[in-house]
Structure 1
Amino acid sequence: MGGPHHVLKIENLHLSFGGIKALQGVNFEAREGEITGVIGPNGAGKTSLFNSISGFYTPDQGSVSFEGNDITGLSPDKRAELGLARTFQNIALFRGMTVLDNIKLGGHTRLKTGVWQALRYFGAARREELELRRDIEERVIDFLEIDHIRKYPITMLPYGLQKRVELGRALAMRPKVLLLDEPVAGMNREETADMARFILDVQDEFGTTVLLVEHDMHMVMDICSQIVVLNFGQQIASGTPAEVSRNDAVIEAYLGAAA
């Protein structure tokens, strides 16, 4: 039997803003059911890469392929329908809504009943909504251990729990690939350990392919099977955590950033 095949493939990706080259020829694959990390100093191009993969930016050159199909020209909502979900570096929850309602919003990408169908077939739309709620309560909320806060408004929650709710909203989409943009940024050690455990559980229990951008090197080295390293928009290394940690170009990039 062969190894896992890639579900997400980035080929020769270039992106610029005016005279600034945000990405320059980035190439890598995220293998099915594995956790791939993207690291690099500030300004390396990590968020630009995520925005290109999720459809918020259109690259100048190169392609993004999902399950063997070129999705470079697809809008973010079309990519979400295919099974691409993401969280954001800055929490993007609806602050006037409850935990449950925020998570349910993620699941609405899976509903088959459109607006006009809902008006004509209220019963079918109602059943679909109830099934979505039951799925979210049984699968997502229990999984993330947030049943006790599901009726709380987002504004009542500490930062770490808000990040967990945002993960829940992404999971409600039943993604094939989950993009996590700095999932533990701003968290204390205990919150970071909890989030790392949930990410590993997402991979293990749901078989989800995870691609994450993160500055917490200890967490990345612990949970990722493959790591891609960017610096000034260029890919300077890729490989296993052990290979990347010994790479001279990576060491120089991080020592330079520290200096």
Structure 2
Amino acid sequence: MSQPGVDLLFSPPGATDLVLLAHGGYEHSHKNPGSWRAPILRMWPLAAAARAAVPTAAVGLMRYRYRGWNDVGDPATDLRSVLDALPFERVVLIGHSMGGRAVVAAGDHPRVAGVLGLAPWLPSSEPLIALRPPVMFAHGNDDTVTSPGDTRAYANRLRAAGTPVSLVCLAGETHAMLHRTHDWNALVATFTEYALTGSGEFVPEDLQWPTAESPTSTATAVLNVAWTRLRLPVRERIRVTNPK
């Protein structure tokens, strides 16, 4: 992947809104992100949930040049370049792990209509960005890859600066988001609908996300990811030729 861009999974005629999902990666890596690696595959069911919530919006997956953050924030640079070039008026950003860090770093872009970080990687040194609301962070309390405590600390810094933030805890969930898949899907759908239509209620406080069903087995979750990936083709690829 020599150019950043977006793989559109849904693109309704005349769509002016986009839900853009940014996948996770590594702290350091200049390898090609690939199309069949676990971090990006995990985003497919979330894309389907976003599409079901707001069928009039386009839904796409962010494609970086590299797998890693690489000190200089390559994914965030790629995301900003894509936001500058996209033919959409409003973009809801949803990112997991490193993708969560990227959507926060680019969350003040004028096209952004909401930022949702799923188990985001937000180290204590992360610069405070004036994110465009609504803003929600969600983290499993059993995550040992990225820190729920760091996410809470960043949310509190935003609140102190005047940005309302909804901070959601999913009990019994780890970093891969494979134990409470129905709840992650519901969270994405609820946030997307609120950000683009104003339907529902935004609660700017700490929340325990209610469990929709019994925990999902890892095998069932992985099969659902594979099935969703196989039945949803990439309809269009948008590439940025000169990322800033």
The TM tier, using the shorter chain, reads 0.3 to 0.5
The TM-score normalised by the length of structure 2 is: 0.34
Q: Identify, as 1 or 2, the structure richer in helix.
A: 1
The TM-score normalised by the length of structure 1 is: 0.32
Greater C-alpha Rg: 1
Higher RCO (C-alpha 8 Å, min separation 6): 1
